[in-house]
Amino acid sequence: MLNVLLRRLLQAALTVLVVVTLVFLLFSVIPGTYASSLQADKRDVSAEVLERIETELGLNDPLPQRFGRYMAGLAQGDLGTSYATKRPVADMLAGRIWASFRLACAAILFAVCIGLPLGFFAAMRQGSWLDTATMTLAVSGLSIPAFWAGLVLMYLFSLKLHWLPTFGYGSGGLSHLILPAITLGIAPMALLARTTRAAVLETLNSDFIRTARSKGMSERRLVLRHLARNAFVLVLTTIGLQFGSMLGGSVVIEKLFAWPGVGSLLIDSVGLRDIPAVQGAILVIVLFFLLINTLVDLAYLVVDPRIRYR
């Protein structure tokens, strides 16, 4: 397991290096800078002031020099200073990571609690009305845009029924978390239901399941001892991938519900051409995805000892 962990950490370091380089180069070649965004906001800023701002921020320095300066700071744990707020990017992210993490955890919890049982019972009742209803729900959940689903939930439960707040973080209570979590968890829930159904059906058709049944093993023992554990490997992969990608996938949801997370910071920073904040937000999203995938790889060894990494 130690060898697997070290190999995954090396791969993660290389991935982060590639992503950081690509993001830096991408925003270096895109037209417009933070100074030009001030003019786009119709602020009364003279050309001399804009030139001075670009010089102070080092935007007129050669590309290799700017990249070297950024990488040197990154190696020391310095993500830079935001152009817009003049605050350290690390401090800005520290105040938002917990909000995004709460949202991602709540969304994946909703997806697992609804999608996994639906997929399992649909497979155990293949061809029944439950199977048909579950697959219809899964296809619908994957087809509906998250932005539209969020607006519908907001209209129904906030504006009409007045059960839940429309948007915002509030005092960090659960009432503000429910709607964005459900909206973010609809697509993963649908995918998890389909994946669980497929994994259970594949396992049910395996030779060892037929052998166990022919020996008279009870259905309860069959499910708990053989079916669940063997089908869970594929399900675990889906849960890990969906959970890992939620921090990046929550960008639109956070903006829709005015949720103060990393995703909303990313959108605001892109609009302002606040490159240090954009790079910091993307770095956090990539690191979260890599961390979850590494944990899933290690979990494979626990769930199924037969799996070996080479």
The CATH number of whichever domain residue 132 belongs to comes to 1.10.3720.10
Residue-level pLDDT at 7: 79
SS3 at position 293: helix
C-beta of residue 74 within 8 angstroms of C-beta of residue 20:
yes
SS3 at position 29: helix
SS3 at position 81: strand
Instruction: Please list the alpha-helical segments (H only) found in 155-261.
Output: 175-204, 207-214, 219-222, 228-249, 251-256
Residue 301 belongs to a domain? yes
What count of other Cβ atoms lies within 10 Å of the Cβ of residue 310? Answer: 4
Residue 111 belongs to a domain? yes
88 DSSP β-pair partners: 81
Residue 86 belongs to a domain? no
30 and 168 assigned to the same domain: no
267 and 172 assigned to the same domain: yes
42 and 147 assigned to the same domain: no
Report which residue type is found at 5.
L
C-beta of residue 246 within 8 angstroms of C-beta of residue 188:
yes
148 and 257 assigned to the same domain: yes
Residue-level pLDDT at 113: 92
Instruction: Give the distance from CA 199 to its chain's centroid.
Output: 23
265 and 157 assigned to the same domain: yes
Residue 299 belongs to a domain? yes
C-beta of residue 27 within 8 angstroms of C-beta of residue 278:
yes
138 and 220 assigned to the same domain: yes
Residue-level pLDDT at 42: 52
160 DSSP β-pair partners: none
C-beta of residue 102 within 8 angstroms of C-beta of residue 177:
yes
146 and 66 assigned to the same domain: no
> Any residues with CB less than 8 A from the CB of 123 and at least 6 apart, and which?
131, 196, 197, 198, 200, 201, 204
Examine the fold and report which residue of 32, 48, 78 is the final residue of a domain before the chain moves on.
Answer: 78
Domain ranges, residue 47: 23-78
Distance between CA atoms of residues 183 and 77, nearest Å: 34
227 and 163 assigned to the same domain: yes
70 and 177 assigned to the same domain: no
Residue 14 belongs to a domain? no
- CA dist 64 to 28, 59, 67, Å? 11, 12, 5
The Cα angle at residue 96 between residues 235 and 258, in degrees rounded to 5: 90
Domain tally for the chain? 2
Residue 12 belongs to a domain? no
Residue-level pLDDT at 44: 61
pTM, whole model, 2 decimals? 0.82
Locus of tokens 């925003």:
27
35 and 126 assigned to the same domain: no
190 and 68 assigned to the same domain: no
Residue 91 belongs to a domain? no
Q: What is the DSSP letter of 118?
A: H
284 and 216 assigned to the same domain: yes
pLDDT one digit per residue (tens) for the chain, 310 residues: 677 678 778 888 888 888 888 888 887 777 666 666 665 555 566 667 777 777 777 777 788 888 888 888 888 888 888 888 888 888 989 888 888 899 999 999 999 999 888 988 888 888 888 888 888 888 888 888 888 988 999 889 888 888 888 877 766 578 888 899 999 999 999 999 888 888 888 887 777 777 777 777 766 777 766 677 777 777 888 888 888 888 888 888 888 888 888 888 888 888 888 888 888 898 888 888 888 888 877 777 666 656 555 5
Residue-level pLDDT at 60: 74
Residue 170 belongs to a domain? yes
Distance between CA atoms of residues 23 and 54, nearest Å: 20
Distance between CA atoms of residues 105 and 85, nearest Å: 29
